[in-house]
Amino acid sequence: MPLEEELFPSTPGKFKDRNRHVHRCFASTSTIFLWALFLIAITASYLCFRSLVDGGNQYFSKHNWSKQIFESAKIRRTHGMSVLVTGAAGFVGSHVSIALKKRGDGVVGLDNFNDYYDVSLKKARKNLLSENSVFIVEGDINDMKLLVRLFEIAKFTHVMHLAAQAGVRYAMENPNSYIHSNIAGLVTLLEVCKNVPIQPAVVWASSSSVYGLNEKVPFSESDRTDQPASLYAATKKAGEEITHTYNHIYGLSITGLRFFTVYGPWGRPDMAYFSFTRNILQGKPITIYRAKNRVDLARDFTYIDDVVKGCIGSLDTSGKSTGSGGKKRGPAPYRIFNLGNTSPVTVPMMVGMLEKNLKVKAKKNFVVMPGNGDVPFTHANITSARKAFGYKPATDLQTGLKKFVRWYLSYYGYNQGKL
Ligand SMILES: NC(=O)c1ccc[n+]([C@@H]2O[C@H](COP(=O)([O-])OP(=O)(O)OC[C@H]3O[C@@H](n4cnc5c(N)ncnc54)[C@H](O)[C@@H]3O)[C@@H](O)[C@H]2O)c1
């Protein structure tokens, strides 16, 4: 009876032994299983806890992250301010951050290091900021959790908002990048600013491009701005309206700055004076746009140090936001200023200055300006900024370009000019 023997072994002990073996086996498997379950539960709760604490953001878990922000935001002078500078790895942002830090204000930078132009230049600016004890957080202004966390760590008194998708022609290639940074990102930032218990004052970069197709010169802040010539200009104009809403509903102190063609050391490679320098050094031709009837384009080129002074003057005189936790408690300042140089120079004249400084003749290609967003001229009336905070540009184009070329050659070298 082999089957029965198997089911009912002849010796009970044998049966008992096998039963115990099976039981022991089962017991140890279930113990392992229980332990595994326990470990999984512990790991899951830990991860859950981390994500609650961190908001699930990759940045927060980085070693020393909060401490670096806290230190960088520390105010080191009487009546100083603590400023969140967005776009701090950018041209204007890096200069403003260093200037604020040097006078003892707390500064924390925020930048997403996008590749609109050479990222290594942004990284080099970041290193420069680091040498000046300014910490830059790598992140996007659309990341609300990140912004909230930054405001928890550092109680910013001011926001200098310079992060944006800049450039006029690139909008035909990548229009959504302008919506992402200049519209959606701006709203996310303002949402966070209006929600915090002590609202910061916000100073942000609009642009002279809002004057669009206007022909009356010089451009004054009260002139019409409803004829943008590019999507970039339209997003900056939208920014002026959006910031007005946040001022009106939530009591945020707002200052919009209309920059006029800012240039100088550590500048933006996509701008004409910069790419012309590179091409002239490399012996390549440069394309110079002209308006119809062979009229030269002209720009109110503004040297970076003057713009930095304008930004800091705006921060110093911004006045307080009145709201708290999303509730307005009274009217707050809403201001808009031109930050220009008040002396436009034609593009061929600018090229002549570059040739002189580089000691190389440019190969010029004159082309009729295509309808891609550029305007024929810009010219700022700066009376309002002068009255409000003594804004007085001090560097003419000749002097400013000399400084730019000196920087360019020290950074890229004479023969390289590579980007
Ligand atoms: N330079 C000029 O001549 C000029 C003229 C008019 C207006 N502006 C405005 O001034 C500001 C600064 O200009 P800039 O010349 O220094 O430009 P920039 O491109 O050098 O600096 C902008 C920085 O913002 C960062 N950035 C972009 N989108 C971001 C996002 N979504 N989140 C986080 N960071 C983001 C970029 O990586 C960049 O480093 C911009 O708002 C620009 O539109 C500049």
Q: Is 90 in the pocket of ligand 1 (CB under 6 A)?
A: yes
Q: Find out whether 262 and 378 touch, Cβ atoms under 8 Å.
A: no
Per-residue pLDDT tens over the stretch 14-53: 334 444 454 554 456 666 666 766 666 666 555 544 444 4
Inform me whether the pLDDT recorded for 3 exceeds 60: no
List pLDDT tens digits, range 82-92: 999 999 999 99
Whether ligand 1 lies within 6 angstroms of the CB of 122 is answered as yes
CB-ligand 1 contact for 89 (6 Å cutoff): yes
Which of 262, 304, 374 should be mutated for ligand 1, with most atoms under 8 A from CB? Answer: 262
Rounded average pLDDT over 107-116: 98
Of the pLDDT bands very low, low, confident and very high (cuts 50, 70, 90), residue 402 is very high
Look up tokens 């910031």; give the residue. Answer: 243
Cβ-based neighbours of 410, under 8 Å, separated by 6 or more: none
Count of CB atoms within 10 A of residue 197's CB? 10
Average pLDDT, integer, range 197-221: 97
Report whether residue 82 contacts ligand 1, using a CB cutoff of 6 Å. Answer: no
Using CB atoms within 10 Å of the CB of residue 215, give its burial: 0 to 12 exposed, 13 to 18 middle, 19+ buried. Answer: exposed
Tokens of 377: 């001229």
Banded pLDDT at 63 (limits 50, 70, 90): low
Backbone region of residue 212 per phi and psi (left: phi > 0; alpha: psi in -120 to 50; beta: other values): left
Cβ atoms within 10 Å of 264's Cβ, excluding its own: 25
Catalytic position from the list 116, 178, 211, 232: 232
Question: Is residue 163 within 8 Å of residue 203, measured between CB atoms?
Answer: no
pLDDT band at residue 117 under the 50/70/90 scheme:
very high
- Above 90 in pLDDT, residue 263? yes
- Stronger pLDDT, 124 or 9, i.e. the higher one: 124
Q: How far apart are CA 105 and CA 64, in angstroms?
A: 21
Single out the residue of 219, 221, 143 nearest to residue 188, CA to CA.
143
Q: Is 83 helix (H, G, I), strand (E, B) or coil?
A: strand
Q: Which pLDDT belongs to residue 23?
A: 52
Mutating to test ligand 1, I would choose from 186, 189, 207 the residue with most ligand atoms within 8 A of its C-beta, which is 207
Distances (CA, A) of 92 to 109, 197, 232, 261, 364: 12, 29, 17, 11, 29
pLDDT band per the 50, 70, 90 thresholds, residue 419:
very low
351 confidence band (pLDDT: 50, 70, 90): very high
Q: 283 or 49: whose pLDDT is higher?
A: 283
| CATH 3.40.50.2300 assigned to 66-262+305-343+378-395 | no
Q: Which atom of ligand 1 sits closest to the CA of residue 232? A: 43
pLDDT at 343: 95
User: What letter represents residue 26's amino acid?
Assistant: F
The answer to whether the bond into 218 is cis (omega within 30° of 0) is yes
Radius of gyration of the chain (CA): 30
Other C-beta atoms closer than 10 Å to the C-beta of 116 total 18
Alpha carbon distance 175, 173 (integer Å): 6
- Per this entry, what is the length of the chain? 419
Would the pLDDT of 417 be above 70?
Answer: no
Distance in angstroms (rounded) separating the CA atoms of residues 46 and 61: 13
With b for 16 or more beta-carbon neighbours within 10 A and e for fewer, the 237-247 pattern comes to bbbbebbeebb
Q: What pLDDT is recorded for position 29?
A: 62
Helix (H, G, I), strand (E, B) or coil at 286: strand
Rounded CA separation 347/350 (Å): 5
More confident position, 45 or 222: 222
Q: Domain segments of the chain: what residues?
A: 66-262+305-343+378-395
C-alpha distances (whole Å) from 28 to each of 15, 17, 25, 364 are 20, 16, 5, 85
Its pTM stands at 0.88
289 is catalytic: no
Q: Which atom of ligand 1 is nearest to the CA of 257?
A: 7
